[in-house]
Amino acid sequence: WVTLHGFSLNVNTDMRYFEYIIPCGIKDKQVTSLKRELERELTPEEMEELKAKIRKHFADVFQAELIYK
């Protein structure tokens, strides 16, 4: 009775690979990316800002202290 879940955020991902799988077994939905939704790639600076925001909000939501090694 153990389950594992992950977190994934497609940013500048080549989404063609997802045409060959059914993510999470959900057949009638598509997977997307920020690149597809914004119609442009994120710059390296935007990517760093995004990572910082995700870390902050993850820590806030889960009341966690993130440790970097």
pLDDT in tens, 5-58: 778 899 999 999 888 888 878 888 888 999 999 999 999 999 999 999 999 999
Task: Identify whether the C-beta of residue 36 lies closer than 8 Å to the C-beta of residue 12.
Answer: no
The answer to whether the pTM exceeds 0.85 is no
* 18 belongs to the catalytic site: no
CA distances from 38 to 12, 20, 56, 58 (A): 10, 23, 23, 23
In three-state secondary structure terms, 13 is: coil
Q: Which two tokens stand for residue 58?
A: 């993850």
- The average confidence (pLDDT) of the chain is 90
pLDDT digits (tens, 9 = 90+) for 45-65: 999 999 999 999 999 999 999
Q: Which of 2, 4, 21, 24 is catalytic?
A: 24
